Structure 1
Amino acid sequence: MLGTKKSSNRYGQRVTRIEPPSLEEAIAAAQGLTDNIEGQVEIASQLMGMPEEEVRPVVLKISAETRQPQRTVVADRVLDRGEGAKVVVVERRRPRLAIR
Structure 2
Amino acid sequence: MPTVRNKRGGTRSSLHFEPPTLDEAIFAAQGLADDVRGQMEIAAMLVGLPENEVRAAVLKAVRPARGPSRPSPSPCSASGPQVVVVERRAPRTIMR
Same fold (TM over 0.5): yes
CA RMSD across the alignment: 1.7
How many percent of aligned residue pairs carry the same amino acid? 45
- Taking a change above 3 Å as real, the CA distance of residues 68 and 39 of structure 1, as seen in their structure-2 partners, is closer
1:86 aligned residue: none
Question: What secondary structure sits across from 2:41 in the alignment?
Answer: helix
Q: Which runs of 5+ in 1 are unaligned?
A: 70-100
- Aligned 1:56-71 pairs, distance under 5 A: 56-63=55-62, 66-67=63-64
How many residues align structurally?
Answer: 65
Q: Which runs of 5+ in 2 are unaligned?
A: 67-96
CA distance in 1, matches of 2:37, 2:19: 21
How far did 1:45 drift? 0.5
Provide the TM-score with structure 2 as the length reference: 0.62
1:89 aligned residue: none
Provide the TM-score with structure 1 as the length reference: 0.60
Higher relative contact order (CA 8 A, sep 6+): 1
- The structure with the greater share of residues assigned to strand is 1
Whose Rg is larger? 2
